[in-house]
């Protein structure tokens, strides 16, 4: 008997999941670096006739699997990647069967999950009542959506009609900390504002904006601040910034891609107490919260302004019952927020706090253990990021980094910060446990012994 299309699909779904299970089962034993020797075999000509599913999946799981970076393992400490919580992965898998678009007509239940997830996050982070926003592909797009919103608000204060375009528009001012993330600069360019006229504010020896060097602000100024410096984890001085911005009616935007989550922690979040004084915030689900890629969130204190800038209808009037597409940059969009909903339900409030505290605790331990080994960590451990160097032997840092990468035991990358060369460790994976940290420290100790003695 001929199988129906849905039976074919459900069998295929299971085959994919089975290979995912096998992949996860071998992850704690394999090297963290990808094995690339067979990569070329994936680059073949398109066959005239389609291949059987088993054949495709075997190639994908085999050559594709070995060519993955084992970032899902607890021994990956590069960039700020995160892993995928079990509930979030399972939700991803179910979503792939559903194939919903996050829109109230074509995916009503996933839109409800997204809206609920947003309200939980607003509450968890202590943001002002009425704050709302949209899930995006990540912090880059979330920053862009909010910079566009801020741009339109600041321009309309100058009498420039929303939607009138930037040609001939009044000038705006942009104030940003020297160590703002490179993607914020990209977002500024995408928003048509460019970066050549930024009024840069110097940072201190932690990478935090110096409050007393912030220029005089006014109501055509966009201030770009950061919660979570990628090298040190440090936070800009929000309390003072919010006060200055409010007094001048400037727009305060906070890029908190990974660092905004620190707010839930008693210890790591104390500098974020006045986070609610900003106008807009960006936070990723796919980093610290550990949902699968890709998922970020744009949050705005003035959601009606976000809608006026992002709405699908070009009337520039807020829709009475907005769809996610009226706030997000995209029209058709996957229901990525449903994974955040599942992740948050699986952790509960206490679980989020515990995970964030665990990242912070591991980062502190790493800084302490590496200092004991003779390394220098030239900053306080604010959250989950640790920049490490050897002041009299900076060149050895790159060789130590490579040695650890090649050992397969752990992975982190080289970094340069405030003129110092070293390496950077990020603790952002829910799966990382004490034993993974032991293996990381042992691999670094071994590399250092072999390279510098």
What are the residues binding ligand PLP (CB under 6 A)?
80, 138-140, 181, 183, 228, 230, 255, 257-258, 284, 296
Contact between 331 and 282 under an 8 Å Cβ cutoff? The reply is no
Contact between 288 and 384 under an 8 Å Cβ cutoff? The reply is yes
State the nearest-atom distance from the C-beta of 294 to ligand PLP, in Å: 7
Q: Report CA-CA distances (Å) from 33 to 61, 116, 164, 402, 419.
A: 16, 37, 50, 11, 28
Residue 47 has a CB neighbour count (10 Å cut-off) of 7
* Closer residue to ligand PLP, CB minimum distance, 285 or 407: 285
- Residue closest to ligand PLP (Cβ): 138
Contact between 37 and 372 under an 8 Å Cβ cutoff? The reply is no
State the nearest-atom distance from the C-beta of 136 to ligand PLP, in Å: 8
* Closer residue to ligand PLP, CB minimum distance, 187 or 265: 187
Compute the distance between CA of residue 27 and CA of residue 120 in angstroms, rounded to an integer.
32
Compute the distance between CA of residue 428 and CA of residue 83 in angstroms, rounded to an integer.
7
Compute the distance between CA of residue 166 and CA of residue 34 in angstroms, rounded to an integer.
45
* Closer residue to ligand PLP, CB minimum distance, 140 or 291: 140
State the nearest-atom distance from the C-beta of 129 to ligand PLP, in Å: 26
State the nearest-atom distance from the C-beta of 141 to ligand PLP, in Å: 7
Task: Please list the residues that pair with 283 across neighbouring strands.
Answer: 297
* Closer residue to ligand PLP, CB minimum distance, 257 or 298: 257
* Closer residue to ligand PLP, CB minimum distance, 71 or 140: 140
* Closer residue to ligand PLP, CB minimum distance, 257 or 352: 257
Compute the distance between CA of residue 397 and CA of residue 400 in angstroms, rounded to an integer.
5
State the nearest-atom distance from the C-beta of 139 to ligand PLP, in Å: 3
State the nearest-atom distance from the C-beta of 213 to ligand PLP, in Å: 21
State the nearest-atom distance from the C-beta of 255 to ligand PLP, in Å: 5
Which residues, in sequence order, are CB contacts of 271 under 8 Å at separation 6+? 235, 237, 238, 382
State the nearest-atom distance from the C-beta of 252 to ligand PLP, in Å: 16
State the nearest-atom distance from the C-beta of 140 to ligand PLP, in Å: 3
State the nearest-atom distance from the C-beta of 199 to ligand PLP, in Å: 20
Which residues, in sequence order, are CB contacts of 260 under 8 Å at separation 6+? 125, 227, 228, 254, 272, 275, 281, 282, 283
In the block, tokens 């002041």 appear at 391
Contact between 307 and 327 under an 8 Å Cβ cutoff? The reply is yes
Peptide bond connecting 294 to the previous residue in cis, omega within 30 degrees of 0: yes
Contact between 148 and 191 under an 8 Å Cβ cutoff? The reply is yes
* Closer residue to ligand PLP, CB minimum distance, 282 or 397: 282
* Closer residue to ligand PLP, CB minimum distance, 181 or 379: 181
């Amino acid at each position: 008997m001929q199988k129906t299309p849905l039976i074919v699909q459900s069998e295929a779904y299971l085959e994919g999941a089975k290979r995912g299970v096998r992949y996860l089962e071998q992850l704690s034993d394999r090297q963290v670096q990808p094995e690339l020797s067979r990569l070329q075999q994936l680059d073949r000509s398109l066959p005239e006739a389609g291949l059987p599913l088993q054949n495709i999946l075997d190639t994908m799981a085999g050559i594709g699997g070995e060519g993955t970076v084992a970032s899902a393992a607890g021994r990956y400490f590069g960039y700020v990647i995160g892993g995928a919580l079990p509930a979030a992965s399972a939700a991803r898998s179910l979503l792939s069967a559903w194939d919903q678009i996050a829109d109230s007509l074509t995916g009503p239940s996933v839109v409800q999950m997204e809206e609920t997830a947003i309200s939980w996050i607003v509450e968890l982070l202590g943001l002002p009542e009425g704050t709302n926003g949209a899930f995006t592909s990540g912090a880059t797009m979330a920053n862009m959506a909010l910079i566009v919103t801020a741009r339109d608000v600041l321009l309309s204060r100058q009498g420039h009609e929303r939607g009138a375009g930037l040609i001939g528009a009044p000038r705006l001012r942009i104030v940003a900390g020297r160590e703002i993330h490179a993607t914020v600069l990209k977002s500024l360019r995408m928003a048509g504002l460019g970066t050549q006229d930024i009024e840069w504010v110097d940072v201190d020896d932690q990478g935090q904006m110096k409050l007393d060097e912030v220029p005089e602000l006014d109501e055509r100024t966009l201030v770009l601040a950061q919660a979570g410096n990628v090298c040190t984890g440090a936070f800009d001085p929000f309390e003072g910034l919010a006060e200055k911005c409010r007094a001048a009616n400037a727009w305060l935007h906070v890029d908190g891609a990974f660092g905004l989550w620190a707010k839930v922690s008693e210890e790591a979040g104390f500098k974020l107490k006045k986070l609610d004084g900003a106008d807009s915030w960006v936070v990723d689900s796919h980093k610290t919260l550990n949902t699968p890629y890709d998922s970020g969130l744009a949050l705005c204190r003035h959601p009606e302004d976000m809608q006026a800038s992002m709405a699908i209808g070009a009337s520039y009037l807020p829709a009475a019952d907005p769809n996610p597409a009226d706030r997000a940059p995209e029209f058709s969009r996957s229901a990525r927020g449903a994974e955040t909903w599942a992740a948050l339900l699986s952790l509960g409030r206490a679980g989020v706090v515990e995970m964030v505290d665990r990242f912070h605790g591991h980062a502190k331990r790493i800084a302490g253990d590496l200092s004991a080994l003779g390394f220098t960590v030239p900053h306080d451990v604010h959250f989950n990021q640790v920049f490490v160097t050897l002041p009299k032997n900076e060149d050895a840092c790159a060789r130590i980094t490579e040695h650890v990468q090649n050992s397969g035991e752990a992975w982190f990358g080289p970094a340069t910060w405030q003129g110092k060369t070293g390496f950077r460790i990020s603790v952002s994976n829910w799966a990382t446990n004490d034993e993974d940290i032991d293996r990381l420290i042992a691999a670094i100790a071994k590399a250092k012994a072999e390279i510098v003695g």
